[in-house]
Amino acid sequence: MRSRRILLTCHDAGGTVPPMLALAQALGDRGHQLVMLSQPSVRERAEAAGCHFAAFSAVPDYERDKTIEEQIAIAVPVITGERVGADVLAIARAHAVDLVVVDGNLAGGLAAAETLEQPSVVLLHSMYATFVDTWFAEIWPFLEPVINDTRRGFGLASVGDWASVFAGHDRLLAVVPAVFDAPVAAMPAAMRHFGFLLPRPSPTGDAPGFPRGDGPAVLVGLSTTYQRQEPLLRTILGALDVLEVRGLVTTAGHVDIGTLQVPSNVLVEEYVPHPLVLPQADLMVTHAGLGSVAAALTFGVPMVCTPIARDQPLNAERVATLGAGLTLPVEATAAQLARAVEEVLSQPSYRRAAQSIASASRRDGGAPAAADELESLLA
């Protein structure tokens, strides 16, 4: 297929960015010209993925030391606002794009894309069930008036739920394999599953690895956005201290490492690309954000999940239901976490289940298969 111009739009809410970057990489591999529209904090990653970058005209970066839920003045206009939609239209026209992909959170951007003649695609960075059954479904009543004001501003009818926000688009792209997706009463006919959409890590020098030794390798990651995760991290460190494991903890820069009591069998780093170390990992302890779950299961690594909020309880529930790990409440003690880590490491069934999901994800085709689907719309 000849090169086409494609607009990709998202905000920087942690798990929103990686699947969009994976899609950009797959499309860029085929020679398509890509524009990424987002907050300024995404620029470096977008350009590394081969995209021309454009910043939202009226949306600043989220503050790193606050939860997104505490930044309503930024988050609500991003999710519901007409300005994001106006940016989508302006960039689409300026670059004469042939197709638009918008993150499922961005109702204003989706409304604008719905008015274009070009095909439009919803990228669901979270499972569809989070929009129709849990989390985003639960906050719909608070967002509905503003979303419908925005839709009317673009000449569109009002809607009563997220499913109707998505209904005007040509495709919905899931970012999980079909076997992992949470069951819902009715899956849209436009939905497509291509497995976990995990971007290739940028080339780096020697990345930090697990400490030396013979014990199992345990990777710990608690979100790339701030969620008041300091107490949980200290509990996890306490659990690792009593286990004969080799721990690698990544903080994403949200915790002052100097304030932590780090056991001798644990290495703490601000950032390590998880795909570089997961091939050597025996287990991951995670908050169960979908990006972290996708990374672990792509490599067939079982998990101990400690969901904090957002879509994490549902993600953790799917991990446990499919036998790929255990789930504990965020208030779990170090002793409870240590027992859960021991259980998952000692029972081969957890790794077998994780590897089975990894195989299912590969069969679904990944980002290259998603790029095939987008090209079918362009054809």
The domain limits of the chain are: 5-169, 217-361
Residue 224 has pLDDT above 80, yes or no: no
User: Which of 22-26, 53-57, 115-119, 204-208 is predicted least confidently?
Assistant: 204-208
Angle between helices 82-94 and 136-153 (to 10 degrees): 60
Per-residue pLDDT at 208: 84
What's the per-residue H, E or C state across 311-366? CHHHHHHHHHHCCCEEECCCCCCHHHHHHHHHHHHHCHHHHHHHHHHHHHHHHHCH
What pLDDT band is residue 205 in, cutting at 50, 70 and 90? Answer: low
Residue 362 has pLDDT above 80, yes or no: yes
> Among 220, 229, 312, which residue's Cα sits nearest to residue 268?
220
d(CA 149, CA 310): 25
Domain with residues 217-361, CATH architecture:
3-Layer(aba) Sandwich (3.40)
Enumerate the β-bridge partners of residue 115: none
d(CA 35, CA 46): 9
Helices (H) and strands (E) in the chain, counts: 15, 13
pLDDT for 135-156, tens place per residue? 999 999 999 999 999 999 999 9
Radius of gyration over alpha carbons of the chain, in Å? 20
Indicate the fold that domain 5-169 takes in CATH: Rossmann fold (3.40.50)
Residue 271 has pLDDT above 90, yes or no: no
Q: Given phi > 0 = left and psi -120 to 50 = alpha, else beta, which region is 155?
A: left
Task: Decide whether 5-169 matches 217-361 in CATH topology.
Answer: yes
Residue 327: φ, ψ to 5°: -120, 130
Residue 204 has pLDDT above 70, yes or no: no
Q: Are 297 and 290 in contact (CB under 8 A)?
A: no
Residue 207 has pLDDT above 90, yes or no: no
pLDDT for 236-262, tens place per residue? 999 999 999 999 999 877 777 888 889
What pLDDT band is residue 65 in, cutting at 50, 70 and 90? Answer: confident
Per-residue pLDDT at 222: 85
pTM score, two decimals? Answer: 0.95
Give the mean model confidence (pLDDT) for residues 62-86: 92
What value does the mean pLDDT of the chain take? 95
- Residue 275: half-sphere exposure toward Cβ, Cα within 13 Å: 15
d(CA 124, CA 138): 17
Number of residues written out for the chain: 379
Record the tokens describing residue 37, joined without a space: 């529209």
Residue 366 has pLDDT above 90, yes or no: yes
Q: Is 139 buried (19+), middle (13-18) or exposed (0-12) by CB count in 10 A? A: exposed
